[in-house]
Amino acid sequence: MDHFSATELHAPSVASGSENWSRLIHLLESNDPPFDSDTLSIRQIISGRQAHLAALDAQLNALRNEMDRLSAERDKTVECIRHHTAVISPIRRLPPELLCEIFAATLPGTRRVGITTVNCPPWRLAHICSPWRAVAVADPFLWDSITISRSPDQSPLSDMYPLSMLETQLLRSGNVSLQVTFDLHNGAGAERQLLDTLLSCCERWASVNLRCWSRGTTDLLLKLLRVVQGRVPRLKKLELSTSRYTGPLGLDFSSAPSLREVVVTDSNFKTLSPPLVIPWHQITRYRGVYTPSRQLDILTAAQNLVECRLGFTTRLNGTQDTITRIITLPALRRLHVSDCDFLTHITAPSLQDLRSYASVSGSMDPVLDFIQRSSCRLTRLTLGHTRSADKLVPLLRCLPSLEYLFLNATALAPQHVASLSEALEVSGRASDLCPNLAALVYGRDTYNEVDAPDDVLDMVCSRLHPRRRLASFRIYSFVPHADFVAGLTRWMAGLVARGLDVAFISNEEAHALMTGD
């Protein structure tokens, strides 16, 4: 039972010190039943307190109503302050040029013209406020990228990409150069009006990316593209992928005076490159997959190449003896070859970045011979699937200016990893390998308990001296063992404490670093 003081519970009508008062106190502080004579007094107390309670409730209701009124008035005042503060906000005084820069930073990598993208930039930018709409609509560079794509399970192109939207985007883009992408599967045959509209402004194309995934879409788009031949004066980049289609394309871009970049395969060199007529003498960037002989023909004509990525339809070890040409590429800075045997036929005195895989035999001799023959000062080297450290050490000894090394050591036996790591340890002597190495990426397709790279880690520690500082270390495994990752994590924490930028990276990150994409 709860207990209350007499002061809290007595009725004002009961005189303090009287017999009734004492009796009431006794009843309140005990469980004794009241006498009949007590009941009347108690009922009077209850009635008085109920009246008092009603008065209190009335006052509280009045206060609550006043609180609600004041809260509503406060909300209106806050909203008024917010609106008036917005009027003097600096963002209202941003010059249109700066707004355009901000808008450009919001653009997605792929800017489509379909109805599903009206809530994304640049379309969304025109639906925020009238001043921003005016800026967005007036900036043609926000509208210069157009992608038309369709997968097999999607609606017809005319539903996804209304002609009116395409016409609106072309109008808003003014006369600036366009970045155009066709990414089509089956079912594009009935969309000629949409495609014809985009083809009608081919004189403005700065880049065109054509991805066709069926014979039907390839035939259609190639037929349309033949119409634009000789009408692409601004075209700088041509990207073409025709999966499962090996027929003749009949495309001639020899009269594209601004063309500088040609990409006709994927980053993994899995898509065969179609035959094209290209003004190779003006090309500075190229990626393609052809026969070794065809690649040499291209390089012979492409003397202005700065960046080159080469894949091959056949292995070179069976053909290199029949090819005796050696091509000099004086401007080449970055080179990626899927088979290092091809380096036997190239000289690149200005090369700075080389990505290469070992030959079928695992030999790296062509890489060493190429570097010695070219007398180039490499600063970046990516090597894949080499099988012996015996050739790697002489190779690295030729590269005192090397700053970045990516090494896929999957094919290296543990003893070769140990010998290579020992050779790469530095102590401040003039004979140290790669003394300027600032970034190292090391990986294997898999690790287990017995091949954790302790030797590699010791080598990394030797390069933490302030005068021979390794700034970045990345390690990866396509199939990492749980125990290996746990041990490596503890080891990495120690390196982080010493100031090294170190991380275990994913398969995707390693692939991007390996291919340069």
Query: Cβ distance 376 to 352 under 8 Å?
Result: yes
Task: Return the percentage of the chain with pLDDT > 70, whole number.
Answer: 80
* Amino acid occupying residue 338: S
**For the range 43-48, what are the long-range contacts, defined as Cβ-Cβ under 8 Å and sequence gap of 24 or more?**
44/11, 44/13, 45/10, 45/11, 45/13, 45/14, 48/11, 48/12, 48/13
Q: What is the pTM of this model?
A: 0.76
The answer to whether 375 and 401 have CB atoms below 8 angstroms apart is no
pLDDT at 417: 83
Domain ranges of the chain: 383-517
Three-state secondary structure of 227-278: HHCCCCCCCCEEEEEECCCCCCCCCECCCCCCCCEEECCCCCCCCCCCCCEC
Residue 359 CA to residue 50 CA, distance in Å, equals: 100
How far is 107 from 100, CA to CA, in rounded Å? 11
What pLDDT digit, counting tens, does each position of 42-97 carry? Answer: 888 889 899 999 999 999 999 999 999 999 999 999 999 999 998 888 888 889 99
Q: What is the mean pLDDT of residues 401-420?
A: 85
Q: Which two tokens stand for residue 67?
A: 């609180």
| Cα–Cα distance measured from residue 382 to residue 181, given in angstroms and rounded to the nearest whole number | 31
The amino acid occupying position 396 is: L
Q: Which two tokens stand for residue 165?
A: 């939207």
pLDDT at residue 1 tops 50? no
Q: In 400-453, where does DSSP find H-type helix?
A: 414-424
Among left, alpha and beta (phi > 0; psi -120 to 50; other), residue 49 is: alpha
**Band of residue 15 on the pLDDT scale cut at 50, 70, 90:** very low
For tokens 């404490």, what's the residue? Answer: 497
189 or 35: whose pLDDT is higher? 35
Most confident of 28-42, 93-107, 184-198, 349-363: 93-107
Q: What is the pLDDT of residue 303?
A: 96
Rounded to the nearest angstrom, the gap between the alpha carbon of residue 353 and the centroid of all alpha carbons in its chain is 23
Q: What is the per-residue pLDDT across 303-330, written as a single tens digit (0 to 9) for each? A: 999 999 999 988 765 444 456 789 999 9
The Cα angle at residue 366 between residues 365 and 370, in degrees rounded to 5: 120
Strands 327-328, 285-290: pairing is unpaired
Contacts 24+ apart (CB under 8 A), 298-305: 299/327, 299/329, 299/346, 300/325, 300/327, 302/329, 303/329, 303/330, 303/331, 304/331, 305/329, 305/331, 305/332
Report d(CA 180, CA 103) in Å as an integer: 20
- Output the six-digit token pair for 372: 């010695």
CA dihedral 42, 45, 46, 51 (to 10 degrees): 160
